[in-house]
Amino acid sequence: MKSTKLVSLVVIAAVAITVTGFQAGFAEAKKKFEPAKIGIVSVRTVLDESKSNEQWEQKINQQSKEVTEELKRLQAEAESLKQQTLALKPGTEDYAEKKRQFAEKQAILKAKDNYYQEEFGNMQKEWAEEFYQEILEAVQQAAENNNLDIVLAREDVDLPAPSARELMLTIKTTKVLYNSDHLDITDQVLAIVDAGK
Protein backbone atom coordinates (compact mmCIF):
# COMPACT_ATOMS: atom_id res chain seq x y z
CA MET A 1 0.00 0.00 0.00
CA LYS A 2 2.80 2.32 0.85
CA SER A 3 4.43 1.56 -2.44
CA THR A 4 1.23 2.44 -4.36
CA LYS A 5 1.00 5.73 -2.50
CA LEU A 6 4.63 6.38 -3.27
CA VAL A 7 4.14 5.52 -6.94
CA SER A 8 1.04 7.75 -7.02
CA LEU A 9 2.98 10.65 -5.48
CA VAL A 10 5.82 10.16 -7.95
CA VAL A 11 3.36 10.08 -10.86
CA ILE A 12 1.55 13.18 -9.59
CA ALA A 13 4.88 15.01 -9.12
CA ALA A 14 6.01 13.99 -12.60
CA VAL A 15 2.74 15.18 -14.10
CA ALA A 16 2.98 18.49 -12.18
CA ILE A 17 6.55 19.04 -13.36
CA THR A 18 5.61 18.15 -16.93
CA VAL A 19 2.58 20.49 -16.88
CA THR A 20 4.63 23.33 -15.35
CA GLY A 21 7.38 22.81 -17.90
CA PHE A 22 4.84 22.65 -20.70
CA GLN A 23 3.18 25.88 -19.51
CA ALA A 24 6.53 27.68 -19.30
CA GLY A 25 7.51 26.36 -22.71
CA PHE A 26 4.13 27.33 -24.16
CA ALA A 27 4.41 30.84 -22.71
CA GLU A 28 7.91 31.19 -24.20
CA ALA A 29 6.75 29.84 -27.56
CA LYS A 30 3.75 32.14 -27.51
CA LYS A 31 6.08 35.14 -27.06
CA LYS A 32 8.17 33.99 -29.99
CA PHE A 33 5.28 33.39 -32.37
CA GLU A 34 2.83 36.06 -31.25
CA PRO A 35 2.85 39.11 -33.53
CA ALA A 36 4.39 42.28 -32.14
CA LYS A 37 1.96 44.75 -30.60
CA ILE A 38 2.26 48.00 -32.52
CA GLY A 39 1.37 51.60 -31.75
CA ILE A 40 1.41 54.67 -33.98
CA VAL A 41 2.30 58.26 -33.04
CA SER A 42 2.03 61.43 -35.07
CA VAL A 43 5.05 63.42 -33.89
CA ARG A 44 3.82 66.37 -35.92
CA THR A 45 0.52 66.40 -34.00
CA VAL A 46 2.41 66.30 -30.71
CA LEU A 47 4.56 69.24 -31.85
CA ASP A 48 1.57 71.22 -33.15
CA GLU A 49 -0.73 70.63 -30.19
CA SER A 50 1.65 70.48 -27.24
CA LYS A 51 1.17 73.21 -24.67
CA SER A 52 4.89 72.96 -23.80
CA ASN A 53 5.89 73.68 -27.37
CA GLU A 54 3.28 76.44 -27.66
CA GLN A 55 4.67 78.16 -24.56
CA TRP A 56 8.20 77.93 -25.93
CA GLU A 57 7.10 79.34 -29.28
CA GLN A 58 5.35 82.26 -27.56
CA LYS A 59 8.50 82.98 -25.57
CA ILE A 60 10.77 82.83 -28.65
CA ASN A 61 8.32 84.94 -30.68
CA GLN A 62 8.35 87.62 -27.97
CA GLN A 63 12.16 87.63 -27.94
CA SER A 64 12.16 87.78 -31.74
CA LYS A 65 9.85 90.81 -31.70
CA GLU A 66 12.16 92.58 -29.24
CA VAL A 67 15.20 91.83 -31.40
CA THR A 68 13.36 92.97 -34.54
CA GLU A 69 12.49 96.26 -32.85
CA GLU A 70 16.12 96.75 -31.79
CA LEU A 71 17.35 96.06 -35.33
CA LYS A 72 14.74 98.40 -36.81
CA ARG A 73 15.87 101.14 -34.40
CA LEU A 74 19.51 100.63 -35.41
CA GLN A 75 18.51 100.64 -39.09
CA ALA A 76 16.65 103.93 -38.60
CA GLU A 77 19.65 105.44 -36.82
CA ALA A 78 21.94 104.30 -39.64
CA GLU A 79 19.58 105.74 -42.26
CA SER A 80 19.45 109.05 -40.36
CA LEU A 81 23.26 109.20 -40.28
CA LYS A 82 23.34 108.44 -44.01
CA GLN A 83 20.95 111.30 -44.75
CA GLN A 84 22.96 113.64 -42.53
CA THR A 85 26.13 112.63 -44.38
CA LEU A 86 24.52 113.32 -47.76
CA ALA A 87 23.54 116.80 -46.57
CA LEU A 88 27.16 117.69 -45.79
CA LYS A 89 29.89 118.75 -48.15
CA PRO A 90 32.31 115.91 -48.99
CA GLY A 91 35.84 116.49 -47.75
CA THR A 92 34.84 118.41 -44.60
CA GLU A 93 35.51 117.19 -41.05
CA ASP A 94 31.75 116.99 -40.34
CA TYR A 95 31.26 114.87 -43.46
CA ALA A 96 34.09 112.50 -42.46
CA GLU A 97 32.73 112.23 -38.91
CA LYS A 98 29.17 111.43 -40.04
CA LYS A 99 30.49 108.95 -42.59
CA ARG A 100 32.49 107.23 -39.82
CA GLN A 101 29.44 107.16 -37.53
CA PHE A 102 27.32 105.73 -40.34
CA ALA A 103 29.91 103.01 -41.07
CA GLU A 104 30.08 102.10 -37.36
CA LYS A 105 26.30 101.95 -37.06
CA GLN A 106 26.09 99.75 -40.19
CA ALA A 107 28.79 97.43 -38.78
CA ILE A 108 26.98 97.18 -35.43
CA LEU A 109 23.69 96.47 -37.22
CA LYS A 110 25.23 93.72 -39.34
CA ALA A 111 27.07 92.18 -36.38
CA LYS A 112 23.94 92.16 -34.21
CA ASP A 113 21.84 90.71 -37.03
CA ASN A 114 24.36 87.89 -37.53
CA TYR A 115 24.63 87.30 -33.78
CA TYR A 116 20.86 87.09 -33.28
CA GLN A 117 20.38 84.78 -36.26
CA GLU A 118 22.98 82.40 -34.85
CA GLU A 119 21.63 82.74 -31.31
CA PHE A 120 18.03 82.01 -32.34
CA GLY A 121 19.21 79.11 -34.49
CA ASN A 122 21.04 77.61 -31.50
CA MET A 123 18.05 78.17 -29.22
CA GLN A 124 15.73 76.43 -31.69
CA LYS A 125 18.15 73.53 -32.10
CA GLU A 126 18.54 73.06 -28.34
CA TRP A 127 14.77 73.23 -27.78
CA ALA A 128 14.10 70.78 -30.61
CA GLU A 129 16.60 68.30 -29.16
CA GLU A 130 15.20 68.67 -25.63
CA PHE A 131 11.57 68.47 -26.72
CA TYR A 132 12.18 65.50 -29.02
CA GLN A 133 13.82 63.68 -26.10
CA GLU A 134 10.69 64.41 -24.02
CA ILE A 135 8.54 63.01 -26.82
CA LEU A 136 10.63 59.83 -26.98
CA GLU A 137 10.32 59.37 -23.22
CA ALA A 138 6.54 59.91 -23.43
CA VAL A 139 6.32 57.40 -26.30
CA GLN A 140 8.20 54.85 -24.21
CA GLN A 141 5.88 55.42 -21.23
CA ALA A 142 2.74 55.18 -23.40
CA ALA A 143 4.09 52.03 -25.05
CA GLU A 144 4.75 50.42 -21.67
CA ASN A 145 1.28 51.47 -20.45
CA ASN A 146 -0.26 49.74 -23.50
CA ASN A 147 2.09 46.71 -23.55
CA LEU A 148 3.33 47.65 -27.02
CA ASP A 149 6.44 46.14 -28.59
CA ILE A 150 6.92 48.70 -31.38
CA VAL A 151 5.85 52.32 -31.89
CA LEU A 152 6.03 53.77 -35.38
CA ALA A 153 5.94 57.44 -36.34
CA ARG A 154 3.16 58.42 -38.71
CA GLU A 155 3.88 61.23 -41.14
CA ASP A 156 1.06 63.67 -41.80
CA VAL A 157 1.08 64.75 -45.42
CA ASP A 158 -0.33 68.13 -46.43
CA LEU A 159 -1.86 68.02 -49.88
CA PRO A 160 -1.59 69.85 -52.10
CA ALA A 161 2.10 70.10 -51.30
CA PRO A 162 3.82 73.49 -51.30
CA SER A 163 6.31 72.24 -53.89
CA ALA A 164 7.20 69.12 -55.86
CA ARG A 165 10.46 68.85 -53.94
CA GLU A 166 8.69 68.83 -50.56
CA LEU A 167 6.16 66.30 -51.82
CA MET A 168 8.91 63.95 -53.04
CA LEU A 169 10.77 64.29 -49.74
CA THR A 170 7.60 63.42 -47.84
CA ILE A 171 6.88 60.44 -50.09
CA LYS A 172 10.44 59.14 -49.71
CA THR A 173 10.45 59.45 -45.91
CA THR A 174 6.91 58.26 -45.10
CA LYS A 175 7.00 54.86 -43.44
CA VAL A 176 3.40 54.32 -42.31
CA LEU A 177 0.93 54.51 -45.17
CA TYR A 178 -2.09 53.30 -43.22
CA ASN A 179 -2.99 52.44 -39.65
CA SER A 180 -6.16 51.55 -37.84
CA ASP A 181 -7.27 54.23 -35.37
CA HIS A 182 -7.07 51.84 -32.42
CA LEU A 183 -3.29 51.66 -32.89
CA ASP A 184 -2.85 55.44 -32.52
CA ILE A 185 -1.45 56.52 -29.13
CA THR A 186 -0.74 60.13 -30.12
CA ASP A 187 -3.22 61.58 -27.60
CA GLN A 188 -1.66 59.55 -24.80
CA VAL A 189 1.83 60.72 -25.75
CA LEU A 190 0.63 64.33 -25.94
CA ALA A 191 -0.96 64.07 -22.48
CA ILE A 192 2.25 62.64 -21.00
CA VAL A 193 4.41 65.36 -22.61
CA ASP A 194 2.17 68.17 -21.35
CA ALA A 195 1.81 66.61 -17.90
CA GLY A 196 5.58 66.88 -17.52
CA LYS A 197 5.50 70.71 -17.91
The pLDDT tens digits for 74-100 are: 999 999 988 998 888 888 998 899 899
Among the listed residues 61, 195, 56, 55, the one whose alpha carbon sits nearest the alpha carbon of residue 135: 195
- Whether pTM exceeds 0.85: no
The pLDDT tens digits for 128-180 are: 999 999 999 999 999 999 999 999 888 777 778 778 887 777 777 777 767 78
Q: Output the DSSP codes for 7-51.
A: HHHHHHHHHHHHHHHHHHHHHHHHHHHSPPPEEEE-HHHHHHH-H
Could you tell me the residue ranges of all domains in the chain?
1-34, 35-195
How many other C-beta atoms can be found within 10 angstroms of the C-beta atom of residue 188?
18
